Chain A
Amino acid sequence: MTSRLWDDDEHLLEELAEALRSAGPVSERMRAGSEAAYTWRRVDEELALASIAYDSLLDTELLVRSAAGEAHRIVLFEAGSVSVEVERNGASLVGQVVPPERGEILLEGAGGRAVRVPIDELGCFCIDDLPPELVRFRCETPTAHLVTDWIRL
């Protein structure tokens, strides 16, 4: 299985075949979802992209400590000096935008669902019925115009 054998055409082709088999069958739903992702392309929008800076799900130290049923999850998105922290508890979610300012959160689901909620003067917002699909948050305040990475919470 060393790559030295790749100098030989037969070996290289056989290992490529094995690599392709390791991918397994690609379902039509997978392909459709992948191609449809392009419809979410943003055109001419001046929005900062807030990436995931922290996810309690991937925090190994935390998992060791609270392995007994992680009932809630905390995710932090950051774009420059603005951050959006969300905490999911079952199907409900609370979040906070920092620095705090009044504004609006638009939760977008990859399946087309959209939920609009206000951000209060402390930067806080609540969503009661989190859709079980990939979502992202658009955040509009007087100073912050951002959209987060997609995530399934």
Chain B
Amino acid sequence: MADSSTVTGLVVAAERGDQSAWRALVDRYTPLVASIVQGFRLQAHDAEDVHQTVWLRLVEHLGDLREPRALPRWIITITRNESLRLLKTTGRTRPFDPLTEHETVDTADHVEPDQDLLKAAQHQVLLAAFAELPDHQRDLLLLLVADPPVPYAEISKQLGIPLGSIGPTRARALQRLRESPLIAEWRESDPNGGGQRDIATLGR
């Protein structure tokens, strides 16, 4: 039996036809996809297309992705490529001015300036690691970072856990996030702990 509480388990279950496992995967990884798509500043309609393409592709590739670490890299690579594709599709249909056209070739460089690349990579590694946390830990962290803040009493009620266990669960969730192999590798990739390498290329 596949363990449907882990990403690997969800991938196996989804491949076997379990629609709720599919929904869980979409739920877990949509923030990662959305964060990358946002970086390309696509029109809403194009952004929706990228999301749909990523998931349509994943349906076809579920069988190849049993190695759990392959999934975040796969998602990041496909999302980037498809965002770029859509960006260029849109670029192709923009009004064309022959006098200035040669200056506007590489639109991708304009939307992801260098100074934002590290920040974007950091967001991606955090979201990829977050996607692998158990549901109860993800649910708690989502409520803890909600804006406006959700009072502990309300969190306790919503999650059905005692008020006194919020602090310890929060600490365990953050520790688990920190110990995620994705984050550990990323932090090790730079001697200053700044994580200069791209998560999509780690371990290669």
Contact = CB atoms under 8 A, between A and B. Distances in A.
Interface of A: 1-4, 6-7, 9, 12-13, 15-24, 26-27, 29-31, 33-35, 37-38, 40-43, 49, 55, 57-58, 60, 63-64, 67-70, 73, 110, 134, 149-152
Interface string B35-78: 10011000010011101111111111000000000000000000
- Binding site secondary structure of chain A: helix
B141 A16 contact: yes
B174 A3 contact: no
A19 B127 contact: yes
A23 B31 contact: yes
- Binding site secondary structure of chain B: helix
A6 B122 CA distance: 11
18 contacts: A3-B122, A12-B174, A13-B144, A16-B126, A19-B123, A19-B127, A19-B130, A22-B120, A24-B34, A24-B38, A29-B48, A30-B47, A37-B55, A37-B58, A38-B59, A58-B85, A69-B96, A149-B57
B74 to A, nearest CB: 13
Contacts of A29: 48
B171 A55 contact: no
A149 B60 CA distance: 8
A34 B51 CA distance: 6
Contacts of A149: 57, 60
Interface residues of B, number: 67
Listed residue (A20, A42, A68, A110) with the most chain B CB atoms within 10 angstroms of its CB: A20
B84 interface: yes
B9 to A, nearest CB: 17
Given A2-B193, A20-B31, A40-B56, A15 B126 contact: yes
Given A3-B183, A30-B52, A35-B55, 10 more contacts: A6-B187, A19-B31, A20-B31, A20-B130, A24-B38, A34-B55, A37-B56, A55-B85, A64-B105, A152-B49
Query: Across chains A and B, which 8 residue pairs bring their CB atoms closest together, nearest first?
Result: A17-B145, A37-B55, A23-B34, A4-B193, A19-B123, A33-B52, A23-B31, A19-B126
